[in-house]
Amino acid sequence: MVGLRPMFRTPLLAVGLGAIAGGFEVVALGATLKLSLLPVDAAMLGLAGVVLGSLVGFLAGVPAGLVVELATRSWFPPRRYAAGMALVAVLLGLWYLVPLGLVKVEQGLVPAGVALALTPIGVGGVVWFNAGYWFRREDIGERRRLGWWFVGPCMGLALGALGTLLVLDRDHGSARALAGDPLVVLVGVDGLRADHVGALAADAPAPTPSLDALASAGLSFDNVVAPVPAAGPAQAALMTGRHPVRAGVVRASDRLLRGYDTVAEAFAGEGYATGAFVTSPELAAGHGFEQGFEVWDDDPAMPVRGLARLQVVRFARAAGLQVGPLASVRSDAETVAQVAPWLEAVGERPALVWVQLDGPSRATDRDSLERALGDVDALVGRLRAVATTAARGRPVTFAVVGTRGQPMGEHPGGIGHANLFDESVRVPLLLEPHVMKAIQHRRVSLQVRLMDVPAALLALCRLDPLPDAEGADLIGFAQGLRTRHYASLLALARSDAEGGLLLGYRATRGGEDGNIKFILDHRTGRSQLFDLVEDPREQTDIAESQGEAVAAIRARVLQEAGPLFRD
């Protein structure tokens, strides 16, 4: 190899540098990854990181070798080889560190982002000086027992092993938890409407025996509002107890900032183990919803658990490369399958488990909706059985909530086209508390909101409410202590092609036992008003005959939606 030209030798030398870079990536993953992995899974991930890093190194070595070949013809071979390795090191640094820098910049940490983006230059300089020394010794004929072909990959594998140990070094909960604290399981189903549950609607499209059994065993709320019918905003409401507009999460690109307290942080602070298992790509790690969770398992179905976190795989998937394992999409069943092993690892400690399913949101017709509801119902039954087994006789609070509804063509836009009509915003909540005291109403039809759910879970576990949260304890409705509807601002951020921003309001009708719905198309200024008592399917717009009421509601909506216009 000593006599090889730089354009041929540089890619071969770059394999070792790539292995080391891949090892460092595994170490970084080990320190930040929130997946719960078995030892064999962690070892496979470490090996995959090193192997893929070696491949990236080789690919980076090809253009680096060509540049050195053409630009350094007058240099001595040791300097040319060193220049090739230095250039490869810079390219690898750009590949791994610039994306991290961009994330920091998006988070407002501009100095940190710039520092990460400039780090490859320093890395290249370090490699230049060390490689130069190495190749000068080679040039004078000094023999070495261990060549770079051996040293580089071995260093990469050692780093990969360290990353594997970091992945496995995770505690579950703390000694602050009390022996009588319950296991709390909250299941969110994207696309599940109130009229999809047999216990709540006589004309439900498919049998839902597991959901019906849950409703029979506990409490049911059939008039829950998803204030922003989209996966991310719904998650923000359930995690923070705030309206998504006030939590700053309305669009798919929005991230939940660390300044907001989450229900997971509240439970973790009391010693609960906290694990989340999600299907929807919209809730992937990096959107801020993982705050407070020890485990955030959103791993797509791939041959190696955690493989999708590696930079080369992320790039391939982002570029639309859909071949082999890269085309895999996680199913609800695969999400649920990860819950039992984690609960087994948690052992006797109390835990908060968040499970997010999205089967109904993928329905494209009546038949696929019926299949999706049947699948979700079976998975809910399986999760209840898993929770009972894992609790080992300890108390369990189990809840299922729809995070948004799936329109099936009831209004213009077609199937799956989100809107602010009740097929999108009215969802069910089925709650089986571990304590049932002074319950007067097993079924509650008063209007509540997704942001009320965290307050209920915290109150059931005798934990303090989240600071500045606006949600109310739902148990008060079942006990008869809360007797009025809770109004809610509605919002939906659509693309310009879809019509832009929709705003709305769902509120009590003039002190009577019923609701009205107001919808405002912000771009056109068109207002609609519906009486949900007389017109539950929202077919008759009465805005024209209720001009004074429309003007008053419109003013209130625009005032509450103010944060949307300050972006």
**Whole-prediction pTM value?**
0.87
End-to-end, the C-alpha distance of the chain in Å comes to: 58
> Closest Cα partner for 295 from 236, 325, 251, 335?
335
Amino acid at 273: A
Distance CA 321, CA 326 (A): 7
Domain(s) labelled CATH 3.30.1120 in the chain stretch across 496-565
Instruction: For the chain, 567 residues long, give each residue's pLDDT as a single digit of tens.
Output: 555 787 888 898 899 999 999 999 999 988 888 888 888 988 999 999 999 999 999 999 999 999 998 998 888 888 888 899 999 999 999 999 888 888 778 767 788 888 888 888 998 999 888 888 777 877 676 766 667 778 888 999 999 999 888 888 766 665 566 777 899 999 999 999 999 999 999 899 999 999 999 999 999 999 999 999 999 999 999 999 999 999 999 988 888 988 899 999 999 999 999 999 999 988 888 888 999 999 999 988 778 888 888 898 888 877 766 655 655 678 999 999 999 999 998 888 899 999 999 999 999 999 999 999 999 999 999 999 999 999 988 899 999 999 999 999 999 888 888 899 999 999 999 999 998 888 899 999 999 999 999 999 999 999 999 998 999 999 999 999 888 889 999 999 887 666 689 999 999 875 555 689 999 998 899 999 999 989 999 999 999 999 999 999 999 999 999 888 765
The answer to whether 332 and 345 are in contact (CB under 8 A) is no
pLDDT at 284: 84
Bridge-based pairing of strands 426-432 and 219-225 is antiparallel
Q: Can you state the percent helix, strand and coil of the chain, rounding each to 5?
A: 50, 15, 35
Domain(s) labelled CATH 3.40.720.10 in the chain stretch across 194-299+338-484
| 460-476 core/surface letters (b: 16 or more CB in 10 A; e: else) | bbebebbeebbbbbbbb
> What does the DSSP assignment read for 261-308?
--HHHHHHHTT-EEEEEE--GGG-TTSSTTTT-SEEE---S-SSTTGG
Residues ≥6 apart with Cβ < 8 Å to 211:
197, 198, 199, 377, 380, 400, 428, 430
User: What stretches of 127-217 adopt beta strand conformation (E)?
Assistant: 183-191
Distance CA 129, CA 81 (A): 11
Distance CA 261, CA 266 (A): 8
The answer to whether 423 and 406 are in contact (CB under 8 A) is yes
The CATH topology of domain 194-299+338-484 is: Alkaline Phosphatase, subunit A (3.40.720)
Query: Which of the following CATH numbers is that of domain 496-565: 3.30.420, 3.30.1120, 3.40.50, 3.40.30?
Result: 3.30.1120
Distances (CA, A) of 365 to 108, 206, 331, 351, 451: 43, 13, 19, 37, 30
> What does the DSSP assignment read for 335-375?
HHHTHHHHHHHHTTS-EEEEEEE-GGGG--SHHHHHHHHHH
Amino acid at 279: T
Distance CA 413, CA 72 (A): 62
